[in-house]
Each structure stands twice: as structure tokens, then as C-alpha cells.
Chains A and B, each alone.
Chain A
Amino acid sequence: MEDLRTFLAACARGDLLPWAGQAAAAERFHRTVGSVEEEALELGLMPARYQRNRRTISTAEQLKLFRSRVVIVGAGGLGGYVVEELARLGVGTLVVADPDTFEEHNLNRQLLASSTNLGAPKAEAAAERVGTINPAVRVVPLRSSFARENGAALLSGADAAVDALDTVTARVELARACREAGVPMVHGAIAGWYGQMATQMPGEDITPFIYPPGREAKGVETKLGNPAFTPAVVASLQVAEVCKILLGQGRCLQRRMLFLNLLEMEFEEVPIASGAAPGDPG
């Protein structure tokens, strides 16, 4: 039998592997397109779909992304864009947890919602969408909400977690679980024209600063709703953070939180002190 690596080398154009070659190799050698992708990257071949990444992400780094596992908690406004961008980036395994199904009022902003999948589970829609854009990426859809009881299992083996939840209570729980599991977490939240994001690295605790104890379970989003662009902006910032975490590059938004005001185009950095947390509840 012809060797997979020889086959891939023959399919390559320079050091790029066209999708047709990747798909043909998978069929011929009874492999998944994902495992062919890993093999190609190990050989120094860049799947051609990633060629426009190249000045930013090298072939070795692309392999690192492929071998990474990111847990996205929430597949709504933020989560939909996060899944989309991580899949296009080529992160190998995406665990997507969301207990909900699509409703009509999701259509104004949730990338995974369409007029044909109303009523369908959001986590499944994430798997379906990724299957059409980058079948090399494995999606593990979980139709469950995040809770203290399933936190450790959900985060097992994760290189990073994305907080795309929609209640303060659940966000605090996720941050706690990430601390306990030693998993870096990228927080993002939105309300109307406004949003915020911050990164919690292992050993840090951002929750007393971003959500001081005693605050309400929901914020001003209950009054403002969320338009199309706010989740896209905040989710993209979150993905940039995840990419840096996975590659060990750049500087993350640590010990500070970014507060975005898209109405007046103001971006305010809120310091997150490493010392004592603020005192009394609001």
C-alpha cells in the first residue's frame, strides 16, 4: 500500500496541500481529514486553506493549533462567532456546550442561528456549521448547561476555555472551575452597544473584580438586548486571546479588563489588582 506521506508529498504544491489532496488522502487511506491534516503539518505541509495565515501563523504553529482543545461554554451570540473563528483558525478540537435550542429572537445576532434551524440544539448547529467550513476540526457538541458538578469533566484536557455564557452566576462558576483545573479562561460579556473582556490565567482570580460579590445575576443586557455587531466584536477579541494562549505568543489582557463602548467608540482599561478584592457587596 502506498504510504500516506508519499501520497501527500505528491499532492503538495510547493509546501501547500490543496483540500482536494487532503480529502483524497483521507478516502484512500481510510483516515479522517483531521488525521491527514496532522500528518501533513508534521511533514511541514500547510493545508492550503490556511495559506493566508502564513505571515502570522507558521506551519509548526498551525500544528500546535491543530493539537489544541478549546472548550466554548455557550453557543449563542458570543459562542457562535467564537466557534466559527476557531474553526477557521484550525484549532483541532472544539468542545461546545449549550443546553438551548434556537429561537427566532436569536436571528438578529447569533451566527449559528438560521431561519431553517429554529428549534434545533445550538451545540449541534455548531458541529454542523464547522463540518461545512472545516471538516478537519472535530466538534464535541454537548447539550448541557455548565454547572459546578460537570465543570471538571467539561474542562478535562482543555488548553483554553471561552466564557460565552449569559448569566453572572454561571460565569463565576466557570471561572472557578477553570481555576481549579488550571485552564486559562477568556471572559467576554455584552449588553447593547457595550461589552467587556478579560483573560484569567491559571493562578489568577478575576471574578471578584469583574463581578463583585452581591451583584445581580443578569446585567443591563436584560434592558438593552444585543445587536448584531457587539457579539462579533467581543468574540473576535476573545479568539485573539485564545490564539495567543495556544501559541504562547504576545501579551494577553491579564490583570486588566477591557470595557468597550461602541456607541461612543471608547475603550477603557479597567485594572484588575492582584491584591485584595473589593469589599462590600453592591
Chain B
Amino acid sequence: MRITVRLFATFRKGRFDAQIREVPPGTTVARVVEEVNLPGKEIGIVLVNSRHAGLSKVLADGDTLAIFPLVGGG
């Protein structure tokens, strides 16, 4: 199945802004995070089709996954 992965801010460096990826059915958000080699401790907001999701969320064909880094400075 095909999903679109959108990365934000620092996560784009050395990776991509948006990418269509072919993944096997049953793929979770956590699996994609691992595949694109995102540092787990830096992950903030995760959206699947503009809805907030956890890392264990199972993706479906056509989903758009958006991942933002955690921002907390003041």
C-alpha cells in the first residue's frame, strides 16, 4: 500500500519534506519512524490524515502521516 509521509522542521534535514512510500499492510507509525531513521526522543506531534495519532497506530492505504519535532523552548 501507499502512504504519504510529511516531515517538519529539523526532521527534513538529510531526509525529505514529503515522500510517497510503499509499505506493507499493517505498517505502524513507529515502523515508519524507524525506517526514516527519526530520533524517537525528538518526536512531538504525530498526525494521520490531520488527526492526532500514537506511534502504534496502524496505517491504511492512502494515509498521510505528518511528524513534527518536539518544541519546548522559551
Contact = CB atoms under 8 A, between A and B. Distances in A.
A69 interface: no
A219 B72 CA distance: 5
Contact of A219 (B8, B44, B51, B57): B44
Interface in B23-74: 40-47, 50-57, 68-74
Contact of B51 (A77, A218, A221, A271): A271
A259 B74 contact: no
Interface stretch (A48-56, A132-140, A149-157, A206-214): A206-214
Contacts of A192: 9-10
A191 interface: yes
A188 B72 CA distance: 8
A166 B57 CA distance: 30
B10 A220 contact: yes
Interface residues of A, number: 50
Contacts of B51: 271, 273
Contacts of B68: 259, 270
Interface string A48-89: 000000000000000000000000001011110000000000
B73 A191 contact: yes
Contacts of B57: 279
B45 A210 contact: yes
A268 B73 contact: no
A221 B72 contact: yes
A31 B72 CA distance: 42
A3 interface: no
B55 A194 contact: no
A203 interface: no
A14 interface: no
A221 B53 contact: no
A282 B56 CA distance: 9
Interface in A236-276: 257, 259, 261, 268, 270-271, 273
Nearest to A76: B74
Contact of A77 (B9, B50, B55, B74): B74
Contact of A212 (B41, B50, B52): B52
Given A270-B47, A271-B50, A278-B54, A168 B8 contact: no
A199 interface: no
A196 interface: yes
Nearest to A220: B69
Nearest to A110: B74
Contacts of A218: 70, 72-73
A261 B69 CA distance: 12
Given A192-B10, A280-B54, A166 B71 contact: no
Given A210-B45, A219-B44, A270-B45, A279 B53 contact: yes
16 contacts: A74-B74, A78-B74, A192-B9, A208-B52, A215-B70, A216-B41, A217-B72, A220-B42, A221-B72, A223-B10, A224-B10, A257-B45, A259-B45, A270-B45, A278-B54, A282-B40
Interface of A: 74, 76-79, 163-168, 171, 188-196, 208-212, 215-221, 223-224, 226, 231, 257, 259, 261, 268, 270-271, 273, 277-282
Lowest 6 CB-CB distances: which A-B pairs, in order? Answer: A221-B73, A219-B70, A280-B54, A219-B72, A279-B54, A278-B52
